[in-house]
Amino acid sequence: MSDTGELARRHIVLGLSGGVACYKAADLARELVKAGATVQVVMTEAACRFITPVTMQALSGRPVFTNQWDAREGNNMAHINLTREADAVVVAPASADFIAQLAQGRADELLSLLCLARPAQAVPLLVAPAMNREMWAHPATQRNVAQIRADGAFVLGPAAGDQACGEIGDGRMLEADELRDELIAHFQPKVLAGRTLLVTAGPTFEALDPVRGITNLSSGKMGFAIARAAAEAGASVTLVAGPVHQPTPRGVRRIDVSSAEQMLAAVLPEAKVHEVFVATAAVADWRPAEVAAQKMKKDASRDGAGRVPAIAFVENPDILATVARLPAAERPFCVGFAAESHDIVRHAREKLARKGVPLIVANDGPATFGRDDNTLVLVDAQGERALPPGDKLTLARALVAEIAARAPRRPA
Ligand code: C5P
């Protein structure tokens, strides 16, 4: 068992039922182990037709259980012992037949037996369906899925896309990294359940001509981490992103923009329908006053005296300040970021007043751009408080907890 990683000190029972997606379960076992979990694999007889227990033992580092009559357990009660230490049971893939067994409370095999025998309040059951689209769409399957949900199971996916049978549609099992992230999210406290959060992230790009522009080194990592942490905490999240190379966190609605003006146009209507607005984007303060319709040619762009072109700037809208000035009924709880290179707290305090927001998060800009770790200081009317240093996701989770405690609920 590992002390580090997102799933450190978690013990996961990974169940495989029969399906081609068993090959993804091998990857999932690896991902869970890499994230710090201990993984106990349990396979049905059908699963063993698709992938061998040898592979799963090698990847999980533990002998696999396949049989309810397995005599290795001292009391011969594998179905009880296996779940007593578990933090979760994850069945991936879950076949249509296996879901039907769960729905009926059957206990024909070790895996269905242990799902039934687990202490349901303490050990959640997460189920990743994998089947042909017709099987998934069948009313019997849909009925069974609704039943296991009602019984407390968490259903992860399925995704839509190409299927092993050659058809295209709903029923594909989520990928291993998606399932790992779902499991990580499952363990996060739901401090923003039922709430809405809007976040801006990344740089803006202010065009000079069709191929050139002015931008900055913001990677978007902090804003994306906040979007992910808020979604993990149960919020419905909208992320307005400048040009960045970051994958969209699961469950987050993303709107891509380029310039500050586009970002403002995307943010304003959304801000009015979200309870919280977190502005992490490194918005360009100025944009070129004129955008050339065609690429500026090196020689043709010189003036009469042969001088290279000078760029005139105009000021960009301040997105955060604009949202903070919305009428109270439309205004979300606003959180600004201040990336400074010196006098971090003093500048943050000035910004608090200038932007008219209740909370500014200060960080060391040049030291944080593109990095995975960061330090954050929360500055508000009461004072300032540093969050313990950590990676951006850990900090984002801490910040989300702070926001959850401060942001008033908006009347429906
Ligand atoms: O004014 P300054 O750029 O230092 O303030 C930073 C904070 O304001 C960040 O939260 C940033 O996302 C936001 N901001 C904005 N629109 C701008 C400039 C900054 O929303 N044009």
How many angstroms is it from 119 CA to the middle of ligand 1?
49
Give burial (CB, 10 Å; 0-12/13-18/19+) of 292: middle
| Residue-level pLDDT at 46 | 98
CA-CA distance, 18 to 45, in Å (whole number)? 8
CATH numbers and ranges of domains, the chain = 11-186 (3.40.50.1950), 196-406 (3.40.50.10300)
Ligand 1 close to Cβ of residue 93 (< 6 A): no
CA-CA distance, 401 to 177, in Å (whole number)? 25
Give DSSP secondary structure letters for 156-214: --PEEEE-TTS-EEEEEPPPHHHHHHHHHHHTS--TTTT-EEEEEESB--EEEETTEEE
- Report pTM: 0.92
Candidate list 22, 48, 115, 165, residue with the active-site label: 165
22 is catalytic: no
Ligand 1 close to Cβ of residue 56 (< 6 A): no
CA-CA distance, 103 to 34, in Å (whole number)? 32
| Residue with CA nearest ligand 1 atom 2 | 338
CB neighbourhood size of 364 (10 A): 17
Backbone angles phi, psi at 22, to 5 degrees: -55, -30
| 388: preceding bond cis by omega (within 30 degrees) | no
How many angstroms is it from 295 CA to the middle of ligand 1?
30
Q: How far is CA 216 from CA 118, 220, 242, 243, 284, in A?
A: 52, 11, 11, 10, 8
Q: How far is CA 347 from CA 155, 232, 269, in A?
A: 47, 31, 29
- CB distance 179 to 189 below 8 Å: no
Let me know the angle formed at the C-alpha of 106 by 102 and 111, rounded to the nearest 5 degrees: 70
How many angstroms is it from 232 CA to the middle of ligand 1?
26
Q: How far is CA 4 from CA 36, 38, 336, 397, in A?
A: 6, 12, 31, 17
Backbone angles phi, psi at 389, to 5 degrees: -60, 150
| 96: its two tokens | 């249509």
The tens-digit pLDDT sequence of the chain (412 residues) is 567 899 999 999 999 999 999 999 999 999 999 999 999 999 999 999 999 999 999 999 999 999 999 888 888 888 888 999 999 999 999 999 999 999 999 999 999 999 999 999 999 999 999 999 999 999 999 999 999 999 999 999 999 989 888 989 999 999 999 999 999 999 999 999 999 999 999 999 999 999 999 999 999 999 999 999 999 999 999 999 999 999 999 999 999 999 999 999 999 999 999 999 999 999 999 999 999 999 998 877 888 888 888 899 999 999 999 999 999 999 999 999 998 778 888 899 999 999 999 999 998 766 666 667 778 999 999 999 999 988 999 999 999 999 999 999 877 6
| Residue with CA nearest ligand 1 atom 9 | 337
Ligand 1 close to Cβ of residue 318 (< 6 A): yes
Per-position b or e across 66-97, b if 16+ CB within 10 A of its CB: bebebeeeeeeebbebbbeebbbbbbbbbbbb
How many angstroms is it from 354 CA to the middle of ligand 1?
11
CA-CA distance, 256 to 158, in Å (whole number)? 25
Ligand 1 close to Cβ of residue 277 (< 6 A): no
Ligand 1 close to Cβ of residue 360 (< 6 A): no
pLDDT tens digits for range 269-302:
999 999 999 999 999 999 999 999 999 988 778 8
How many angstroms is it from 280 CA to the middle of ligand 1?
8
Q: Average pLDDT, whole number, for the chain? A: 94
